[in-house]
Amino acid sequence: MIKTWNTLTAAVLGLGITSSAFATELTVYTAMENEQLAGYKKAFETQNPDIEIKWVRDSTGIITAKLLAEKDNPRADVIWGLYASSVALLGKEGMLEAYAPKGVEKLDAKFRDPQNPPLWVGNGVEATAVCVNTVEAKKQNLPIPTSWEDLTNPVYQGKIVMPNPASSGTGYSAVNAWLQIMGENKAWTFMDKLHTNIGQYTHSGSKPCTQAAMGEYPIGISLDFRAITLKRQGAPLDIVLPKEGLGLDINSVALIKGSKKLEAAKKLEDFAISEKAFLLYQPNAAALARPEFNVKLAEMPDAYYDRLISVDFNKAGSQRAKVLEKWRERYDGKSEPKN
């Protein structure tokens, strides 16, 4: 059936099937940014001409939901570029195949599954930074914040956007970081205060920074790399790294148990932590699982590496449901938008 449709597609649209007849098609689920995918695919396929990557890309929430929904009959062969807290959850569900890729010993122990062989290994770190629109800050007379605590200042009322942790991986890594840095009680008090300043909770982790860049809301708690991209496009942004520390998650690689293309999948995992791959991650992530590849991005403030906290991803994954439940009870709904 699928073949028929594919042939039809090709016939109707003159779409040649580009892969050679014998290439193994590897279905790779990812939540990485769209613009990064083409380069990763090309590099891997050049090195492995007999394997072709088929991306399925979506937000962290949707990809995780999709993987869980397909649990009994997985479609994915590999996960490449999904947050460790989500991947750890899949590991708990018994959906992952443990594998020690070539060069696993070179990874920073913080950025791989502690068990041996690991269920997942990390590549690029994604941290939560604060984007401040300098034009709007000036116009609206807002001080530039320097800490998470600063964001609870009443001058920012309705001016801050952050991702909803229930739908966004970035949002969850921020909440997780506050819980870890401040301790449970203090963190919830902080979030209570922050909540009164939030203009909007977004569904995606990149959007708050986009909104800050467009001046829609002057301040956005967002993915660090999005801030860099937007700054390069000419957005009037200041990247603020709160002094208490930055929440983070790490894009990870893992094999799906039951994949019929395990050998090809292993090659992909090998590649994903190879030197070549890390050179590709370099321009897209300020911190990497192999720290020797870390290169400071010109747009990123110096304090970046010192501010990254160390996260227990298994814990972050297993307490996720509970934390989100509480978060939703407190901040999601009930309240009319405050203006």
Residue with tokens 């509970």: 322
- Provide the minimum distance between the beta carbon of 36 and other proteins in the complex, in angstroms, as a whole number: 8
67-86 positions binding other proteins, by CB under 8 A: 68-70, 72-73, 75
101-140 positions binding other proteins, by CB under 8 A: 135
Interaction of residue 259 with other proteins, rule CB under 8 A: no
Count of residues that interact with other proteins, criterion CB under 8 A: 71
Interaction of residue 154 with other proteins, rule CB under 8 A: no
SS3 220: strand
Looking at beta carbons only, is 277 or 324 nearer to other proteins? 324
155-194 positions binding other proteins, by CB under 8 A: 164-168
Which of 7, 15, 275, 326 binds other proteins (CB under 8 A)? It is 15
Which of 16, 94, 154, 333 binds other proteins (CB under 8 A)? It is 333
Interaction of residue 21 with other proteins, rule CB under 8 A: no
Looking at beta carbons only, is 53 or 240 nearer to other proteins? 53
Helix pair 184-197, 320-331: axis angle to 10 deg = 40
Sign of CA dihedral 176, 89, 248, 34: negative
Looking at beta carbons only, is 203 or 315 nearer to other proteins? 203
DSSP string for residues in 22-91: TPEEEEEEE-S-HHHHHHHHHHHHHH-TTEEEEEEE--HHHHHHHHHHTTTS---SEEEEEEHHHHHHHH
311-330 positions binding other proteins, by CB under 8 A: 321, 324
260-289 positions binding other proteins, by CB under 8 A: none
- Provide the minimum distance between the beta carbon of 243 and other proteins in the complex, in angstroms, as a whole number: 26
Looking at beta carbons only, is 111 or 217 nearer to other proteins? 217
Q: Are 15 and 9 in contact (CB under 8 A)?
A: yes
Residue with tokens 């002057």: 218
Residue 131: in which H helix or E strand, if any?
A: strand 120-133
196-255 positions binding other proteins, by CB under 8 A: 198-201, 203-204, 206-207, 209-210, 214-217, 226, 229-230, 233-236
Looking at beta carbons only, is 184 or 329 nearer to other proteins? 329
Looking at beta carbons only, is 103 or 158 nearer to other proteins? 158
Using DSSP, how many helices (H) and how many strands (E) does the chain show? 14, 11
Token representation of residue 209: 């920074």
Residue with tokens 């002094």: 243
75-87 b/e (C-beta count within 10 Å ≥ 16 → b): ebbbbbbbbbbbb
